[in-house]
A and B are shown apart, each in its own frame.
Chain A
């Protein structure tokens, strides 16, 4: 795999997405919004109650695990549908790029931004929560083991799941908004389904981990299906229909 090709493709995708104001500003707003919601929801518990119910706090940070899934579906669908509408995949496929490099470029652009934004959000949450509670509690409440597992395992894995699902869905759609909506419709319920055990268990570390493995397996399965949808031949012969 030639990573300089992949990197250039990612750079080009970012530039294109950057020029799509709606997507760009959604991406900026999302982490700020989710951090604000999480902080407001968890602050009261953090300040008032016993150590035991403080464990519940981590269910609030769980919401930030959604960031990669949402971000990847926004960026992924935008970049694929733009290529489709521009008919720019055929000349791109005429270059010495391999099918796997094309797929890697298309997947890594959303995935890297998705994971990065979720880390920004987690960090913000941790810093803000610690700053607001330290005076009262006298110790640093965050990060907990659970936030670390969510940040470095669950978030990347849901990002992968969101990316591969979005690429697969976008390969079958023509319109940016429709692709974004369908991706969201497919990705979000699936995530919610997988999140139920986490929330129900009161943010148990093991259950989080198991759910993460579940996402990973789902992501891998969808990876193989979507790689097929991105073969040169498939793109040229079937995508136009």
Chain B
């Protein structure tokens, strides 16, 4: 388990992150979500002991990452994918992986079999002897992810792992992350892609130099918004919005083209009453729907509120 407590990092006069508190459990996919400069990389570097906190601490399975003596011990059980892949471009893909295997104290036999398995799985085996400089951006990213899991770490930290990947590779990497989780590994990733966070993660922490929200994607969506219903009406002219807004269960109402859009407490209970009212006024309802909020809406609203100082 990873515990983050009061975690703060200041760079000169710039706040990287401030007072983060959360825990990441075992076999969880945990996403740090935030706009550029929100402190995702800073948080990952702090969590992995790569930089030291100004305040607060991180502990990995009970060991604090700011105990420099114990850092090698911690690093043996975590893998880190930095923002930039960072290969030795002149050396072959295989040599790069071999070097890392040795850095983790793996035997050459173990390196050989592990590298082969992974390179075949990642479809890089044919390219093992080519210098990494000849690889495409996506191939470099895949090789870097492979390097990150070479030593079979329990915790896998990935800084924007899907950036620069085409849809096919991106799906491959997402599936790979899920398979890590199925094998009991914990994946902690940063992203500003809401879709990825939504599809992939068990929990999302939305940060903007502070922790704005943390929960499962579905719970975040439920918290951030009241449910919104839409009534499409054949001709909406003559509708009195004031009367609609006066209904007790309607939180807000507006007209958009030929539709009436309302935030209501409970569509199941309220839709029949609204229907009865509209029919009574002679409106012809064509269909009724509910707007499903994406994590993107949630995220934008959370970040917007934090900018306005409401969070």
Contacts and interface: CB of A to CB of B under 8 A. Distances in A.
Q: For the side of the interface on A, what is the size category?
A: 20 to 34
A94 interface: yes
B86 A90 contact: yes
Given A16-B91, A98-B72, A92 B103 contact: yes
Given A16-B91, A91-B148, 10 more contacts: A5-B103, A15-B91, A86-B86, A86-B88, A91-B85, A94-B82, A97-B75, A98-B68, A233-B51, A236-B50
B306 interface: no
Interface string B79-91: 1111011111111
B96 to A, nearest CB: 9
Contact of B88 (A8, A88, A233): A88
Interface in B237-296: none
B75 A94 contact: yes
Contacts of B86: 86-92
Given A8-B99, A90-B82, A96-B105, A232 B72 contact: no
Top 8 nearest A-B pairs (CB, nearest first) are: A96-B72, A94-B80, A95-B103, A87-B86, A87-B84, A90-B82, A88-B86, A19-B90
Contacts of B88: 12, 16, 82, 86, 88
Q: For the side of the interface on B, what is the size category?
A: 35 or more
B87 A94 contact: no
B50 A95 contact: no
B36 to A, nearest CB: 16
Interface in B152-197: none
B48 interface: yes
29 contacts: A4-B102, A8-B103, A12-B88, A12-B91, A12-B99, A82-B88, A86-B88, A87-B84, A88-B88, A89-B86, A90-B50, A90-B80, A90-B82, A90-B86, A91-B80, A92-B103, A93-B50, A94-B80, A95-B103, A95-B104, A96-B73, A96-B75, A96-B104, A97-B72, A97-B75, A232-B50, A236-B45, A237-B11, A237-B51
B135 interface: no
B39 to A, nearest CB: 14
Contacts of B103: 5, 8-9, 92, 95-97
A94 B51 CA distance: 11
Interface string A22-50: 00000000000000000000000000000
B95 interface: yes
Nearest to B75: A96
B140 to A, nearest CB: 11
Given A92-B103, A232-B50, A236-B45, A15 B72 contact: no
A5 B51 CA distance: 22
Interface of B: 11, 45, 48, 50-52, 68, 71-73, 75-76, 78-82, 84-91, 95, 99-100, 102-105, 144, 147-148
Interface string A67-101: 00000000000000010001111111111111100
Contacts of B11: 237
A236 B99 contact: no
Contacts of A237: 11, 51
Nearest to A101: B72
A9 to B, nearest CB: 8
B47 to A, nearest CB: 12
Contacts of A97: 72, 75, 103
Nearest to B92: A15
A192 B195 CA distance: 63
B100 A91 contact: yes
Nearest to B144: A91
Contacts of B48: 94
B181 to A, nearest CB: 21
A88 B85 CA distance: 8
Contacts of A87: 82, 84-86
A86 to B, nearest CB: 5
